[in-house]
């Protein structure tokens, strides 16, 4: 905002000019020329300055009234509406711009809330319906204890899936609105060593070889546990979609002011047509039918990397594997 457009400057300028003009005419008409009608001249000048002052104050109050009227028209049902009188360049224009910024943040918050409710409804509907159907079929006739046990075991598996999915939805919601007070400095190298150890344990069942190359003493500011979860999501995917006795490479290097985390596998790879969708909510590729999941893992990873001001890049070819590269700023 330029100083010349400030309301304070305008009012101060009018005040100073008014005093200067009145003083000048008093000296000129009363003391120097001693005009007979000096009182009338000063009265007329005072009237003119009063009118100018009234017009100035009226414009200010009119702008405030217009701003107030526009604000009253905005509710939770039309948060996309914005204050139009924000180009005046004075304090009122600045207030309008600030209020528009507030509306932007509120609009995003409401959209996140609706998205969260939609995500929960989307993911809860099918498992709950499956459980209900299972119980209804069970109650249709008498069954043996073994049959009841099998149905209960199947229900427990379904509720476990429900719990995991709900946790993923909550993680995704958190990753979009983190608590900045929890951001702290931590050793990224140490975190990656832990991720490598977990990867080796997860890979035992499929006899996958996990190789790691972790640079030492790389520090960064962020959310350690959440970042670990995001990285583990990608490591877990690499293991899930790799063949038995496959190979996974995990590395951490520092490049200028960025930390690069590279997760490479020689698994089944991703079709080129699917690459642009793999980070979308609930997206599951054509080769994921045999693997349980809600399609939220990579969406959570991308959102978490995003709150660390980082980016994820992926290179993949079918039957040749995938390489995920995470770039995280260290400063």
Instruction: With a cut of 80, say whether residue 330 has pLDDT above it.
Output: yes
Domains identified in the chain and CATH numbers:
3-104 (no CATH), 183-329 (3.30.565.10)
270, 314 in Cβ contact below 8 A?
yes
Distance CA 328, CA 31 (A): 76
250, 235 in Cβ contact below 8 A?
yes
Distance CA 183, CA 307 (A): 10
* Residues with Cβ within 8 Å of residue 296, at least 6 apart in sequence: 165, 168, 169, 171, 172, 281, 282
* pLDDT-above-70 percentage for the chain: 73
pTM, whole model, 2 decimals?
A: 0.56
Please give the radius of gyration of the chain, using alpha carbons only, rounded to the nearest integer.
34
pLDDT at position 285, please? 59
3-state SS track over 269-290: CCCHHHHHHCCCCCCCCCCCCC
What average pLDDT does the segment 40-55 reach? Answer: 74
149, 169 in Cβ contact below 8 A?
no
List, for residues 79-129, the tens digit of each pLDDT value.
777 777 655 666 777 777 888 888 887 877 777 667 666 666 666 666 677
Residue 44 pLDDT grade (very low, low, confident, very high; cuts 50, 70, 90) = confident
List, for residues 59-90, the tens digit of each pLDDT value.
777 777 777 777 788 777 777 777 776 556 66
Q: Of 120, 227, 204, nearest to 166 (Cα)?
A: 120
């Amino acid at each position: 905002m330029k100083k010349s457009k400030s309301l304070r400057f305008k009012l101060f300028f009018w005040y100073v000019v008014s005093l200067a003009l009145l003083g000048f005419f008093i000296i000129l008409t009363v003391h120097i020329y001693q005009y007979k009608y000096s009182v009338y001249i000063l009265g007329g000048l005072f009237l003119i300055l009063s009118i100018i002052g009234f017009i100035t104050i009226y414009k200010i109050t009119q702008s405030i009234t217009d701003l107030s009227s526009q604000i009253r028209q905005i509710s939770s049902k039309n948060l996309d509406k914005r204050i139009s009188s924000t180009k005046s360049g004075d304090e009122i224009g600045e207030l309008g711009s600030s209020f528009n910024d507030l509306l932007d943040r509120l609009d995003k918050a409401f959209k996140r809330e609706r998205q969260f409710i939609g995500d929960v409804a989307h993911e809860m509907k099918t498992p709950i319906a499956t459980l209900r159907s299972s119980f209804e079929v069970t109650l249709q006739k008498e069954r043996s204890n073994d049959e009841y046990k099998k149905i209960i075991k199947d229900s427990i598996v379904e509720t476990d899936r429900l719990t995991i999915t709900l946790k993923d939805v909550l993680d995704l919601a958190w990753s979009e609105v983190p608590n900045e007070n929890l951001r702290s400095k931590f050793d990224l190298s140490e975190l990656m060593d832990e991720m490598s150890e977990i990867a080796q344990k997860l890979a035992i069942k499929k006899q996958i070889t996990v190789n790691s190359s972790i640079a030492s003493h790389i520090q960064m500011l962020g959310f350690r546990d959440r970042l670990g979860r995001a990285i583990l999501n990608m490591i877990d995917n690499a293991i899930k979609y790799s063949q038995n006795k496959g190979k996974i490479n995990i590395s951490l290097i520092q490049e200028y002011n960025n930390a690069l985390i590279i997760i490479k596998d020689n698994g089944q790879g991703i079709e080129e047509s699917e690459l642009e969708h793999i980070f979308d909510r609930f997206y599951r590729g054509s080769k994921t039918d045999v693997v349980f999941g809600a399609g939220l893992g990579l969406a959570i990873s991308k959102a978490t990397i995003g709150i660390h001001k980082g980016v994820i890049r992926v290179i993949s070819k079918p039957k040749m594997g995938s390489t995920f590269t995470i770039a995280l700023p260290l400063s």
